[in-house]
Amino acid sequence: MNTTRFCLPVKASIITILSLVLSLAMSPNLSAQLTLDRLDSANRANNANQTKRDPINIIDNIWWVGHSEVGAFLVTTPEGHVLMDSTDPEQVAWTVEAVVKAGFELDDIKYIVNSHPHEEHIGGLAALQKLLPHAKIIASEGTADILASGGKTDFRNILDTEGARFFEPVKVDDTIGHLETIEIGGETLTAHLTPGHTTGTTTWTMEVQDKDGKTYNAVFMGGMSASGVDRGPLLNNELYPEIKDDFERSFAHLKSLQCDVFLYGRASSIELDNKLAKLDSASQNPFIDQEGCAWYIEYYEKRFQKQLADEMAAR
């Protein structure tokens, strides 16, 4: 699906728009080293200790507009912008504030896409939809179903009722399939469906140019964590029977990608602060990180394999 450019019927001042978003919001950067047995609960703990973060120009036309731990990305073009993820309902106002602080017009956001439909990443999407009705929300079919239910059809929320996190339902404007693209302002973003973490997890890729004049392939990972037997069993999962096969296909596909610029919507996962500290002084942009990308895939594949082996041993 090659999407097309949209006209902007809504015109409002940045100050007015920002005020509306702030009214929607409810009233230390904790970077943690990953270990093989780390659980998603560690990320959930980080979610509760958020601080604002200034926008960061990662490379070329890619900006981090998320907060201290959970990220959102802005891809800018002369013909409009693409916002990837929203962060949660409490911090979505910070995301909007970061876009404005980076010097971009909210009216120029043409598309909103996502990595995967968990509340901390897309819980603020409904607020953005009300604020930016001109922006077209695009998601995979698997994600569209979860968004429409407000997270109620997400297998993890059904299995883990105590840890379930719901959000205001969102109806997408269009769905996108594997290897289909969004084209805007001379840029092409390609959707790679990499399910497992959720049924509709989506990894995005695009080409960027750095100051050295070379072209690099940027990969926005969609989330590849196996969630544990209590939240996401890999065997005999009646709510998601294909989960094991989906994970295996997704890891195989990710390993086939050329991954130069490694991005994901968690600051700790991509060592955002360490790389940011080197951004001005390093001879090469530190976000060009093939090794980090390979490590990310290997780490989560090993975690998946460990959970699978444990489940098989317990049968």
**Cα dihedral angle (156, 161, 164, 166), rounded to 10 degrees?**
100
DSSP string computed for 257-274: S--SEEE-SBTTTTTHHH
Which pLDDT does position 120 carry in this prediction? 96
Which pLDDT does position 99 carry in this prediction? 98
Confidence of residue 47 (pLDDT cuts 50, 70, 90): low
Cβ neighbours for 162, distance < 8 A, ≥ 6 positions apart? none
Length of the chain: 315
What is the identity of the amino acid at 191?
Answer: A
Say yes or no to pLDDT of 1 above 80.
no
- Point out which residues pair with 151 in neighbouring strands: none
Asked which of 32-36, 177-181, 201-205 is least confident by mean pLDDT, the reply is: 32-36
HSE of 191 in the Cβ direction (CA atoms, 13 Å)?
Answer: 27
142: nearest Cα among 150, 134, 133, 154: 154
- For the chain, what percentages of helix, strand and coil (3-state, to nearest 5) are there? 30, 20, 50
SS3 string, 214-257, reads CEEEEEECCCCCCCCCCCCCCCCCCCCCCHHHHHHHHHHHHHHC
Which pLDDT does position 49 carry in this prediction? 79
Task: Provide Rg for the chain, Cα atoms.
Answer: 19
Euclidean distance between CA atoms 104 and 80, whole angstroms:
10
Average pLDDT over residues 142-151: 98
> Where do the H-state alpha helices sit in the chain?
14-24, 40-47, 92-101, 119-122, 125-131, 141-148, 155-159, 243-256, 272-278, 290-313
What is the identity of the amino acid at 74?
Answer: L
17: nearest Cα among 103, 172, 130: 130
HSE of 301 in the Cβ direction (CA atoms, 13 Å)?
Answer: 15
Confidence of residue 282 (pLDDT cuts 50, 70, 90): confident
Which pLDDT does position 25 carry in this prediction? 39
Phi (first) and psi of residue 44, to 5 degrees: -65, -35
SS3 string, 187-224, reads EEEEEEECCCCCCCCEEEEEEEECCCCCEEEEEECCCC
Q: Is 80 left (phi over 0), alpha (psi -120 to 50) or beta?
A: left
Sorted by where each begins, the domain ranges of the chain are: 14-26+40-313
Q: How many contiguous H segments (helices) and E segments (strands) does the chain have? A: 10, 12
Strand 81-84 and strand 73-75: the pairing is antiparallel
Output the six-digit token pair for 136: 């077209």
What is the identity of the amino acid at 102?
Answer: A
128: nearest Cα among 137, 119, 120: 137
- Point out which residues pair with 202 in neighbouring strands: 193
What share of the chain has pLDDT > 90, as a percent?
82
Phi (first) and psi of residue 136, to 5 degrees: -90, 125
> Contact, 223 vs 197, CB < 8 A?
yes
Asked which of 41-55, 86-100, 261-275, 292-306 is least confident by mean pLDDT, the reply is: 41-55
Class of domain 14-26+40-313: alpha beta
Say yes or no to pLDDT of 41 above 80.
no
Average pLDDT over residues 146-165: 96
Say yes or no to pLDDT of 4 above 80.
no
Tens of pLDDT, residue by residue over 123-136, are 999 999 999 999 99
Cβ neighbours for 178, distance < 8 A, ≥ 6 positions apart? 191, 192, 193
Average pLDDT over residues 56-81: 97
